Structure 1
Amino acid sequence: MPKIVDDKSDHCISFILEQLQAHRQETYESYVDPPPLFLGINGVQGVGKTTLVSAIATILLSPPHCLPTVVLSIDDLYLTHASQVLLASSNPLNPLVQHRGEPGTHDIALGLSLFSALKAHQRVKIPAYDKSAFSGQGDRTDERAWEEVNVPGNMAKIQVVIFEGWCVGFRAAGTEELRQKWEDAGRCQIGTLWKHRLVDLEFVNDRLREYDLLTDSLDALIHIDAENTQYVYDWRREQEAALRAGKGAGMTDEQVIKFVDGYYPAYELFSDALRRGVFEGKGKQLRIIVGKDRRANQIIKL
């Protein structure tokens, strides 16, 4: 696999500890048992988000911090296979929802239930998703195998919830903004928006409004951004080439392009708003901009 250098976790940990202190001060008078800090981490595909999230969680769990932390991926909130098949068959002309990925293919009710339980320090199981099930179409795993947290007597209550994913923090575009971006893309024929019907993009955009309930639950957010989101194609090609070399299986370059094309409209529609910041208050969002080598080139606090 391509080597990914961790030059971001130190910046992230400093930011998280600062946010945790502020969060505790803000909630101390309102709660006998303050809720955990809900931290969103958005990272473009292929940037090394999984490696970064793992490093952050390990640091928070270890001395000197020893903060009970749980990681929830938005991927683990994908619809069950049966529900995804129903969504696809109900919208047969919309290629954006024929497979998991775009907003609209996640179980928001499950996410909200989980967030509510974690906020109240209730005993709860963390869902998991198996992307290899049904020949790669994916399905939710057996609930009996899910990790359980906040178990009385077994462990300390969760203090930090990391909610990570490629579209975490995305907010829907305005109706006219979406139409304008689509029309501009059609004139230039750059990117992927112009390849889709406006009604299909509007469907995804409308579904994304439901995600606001999750985004509004976040206390802080870290955005690992790219100088050019087109890097996603190169990074994914690198990953799949390494898989083919190491395991003899992996997507071809043509398959990678088709795969990333299924996600890319969301980058074009929703990245600008994320870069401006998802919170009304200041100082709650960290934006780390990386170059093609995945190294941090600029760090901005919003």
Structure 2
Amino acid sequence: MVEQQELEARYARRTSAKTAVFVYAGHVADACARPGVMAEGDVLLDMVGGRGLRVADIRARASEARGTAGRLLVDITVPSHFGCHAFELGADVQLEALDRVAAGMLRRKVVAISSRTDLTVAGDALDPDDLAAITQGLDSLHERMQRHFDHARALAEYLSCCDSPISGGRVAVSYPGLASHPDHDLATRVLVHGFGPAVDFELPDAWGATAGEFIRRCRLNGRSQPAGGFNTRLHARDGSDGRAVRIFAGLDNPLEIADDLDQAMRWLRNPPAP
């Protein structure tokens, strides 16, 4: 079994960091709340996230943060360290939830904190099974992540074509790899190997359907499967009563996922008579 310090050092080398530690945390924000992670004047940015999967301009924000004597912390969970080299863009600290790195095999959620300088935050002693999952995940990460990225792009391209008459109204798609995305040009400069594994889309108001209803209509919604694993997962971005669905593309066949999405759209647009 690999020692945790050895694995943290391996992760640090992968991310071009000086040091890295692993902590148990439900979210990156929880990790940031730990003593020694964030200080007054520091800024935390989501590399890719929020409504519409907006892309952060790290170079510009790094200059602003240093102007106030703070550090720039960047959450790279969505693109992962495979898809974003935040240190090269000016970040001081990177944070990454390791669900996808560990291929969905973690028993508890782990966040990696890596820094260009020494870290004062203490890591947690991880369960041996979690260490093994991260070790095995790093071995296969590049091949898996490229498939996640490629499948997300395929699904985004499919969804961008979903308008009348099939769906009875245009589906609003947000994906940094589409030319229609407001941050597309920026994304081509700050992301590598593609544009990440996530796709957002919003159901037309005319359908009168919620994201929760849509997800329940999808047979392959992945809700019973672990986050970051083999299966594509659908998530109600703004809650079940909202209209926004976020897709985290898996390693499964994107054509089958697209067909499942299509069937749900057809049903919600023209439900069978009672």
TM-score with structure 2 length normalisation?
A: 0.31
**Greater length-normalized contact order (CA 8 Å, ≥ 6 residues apart):** 1
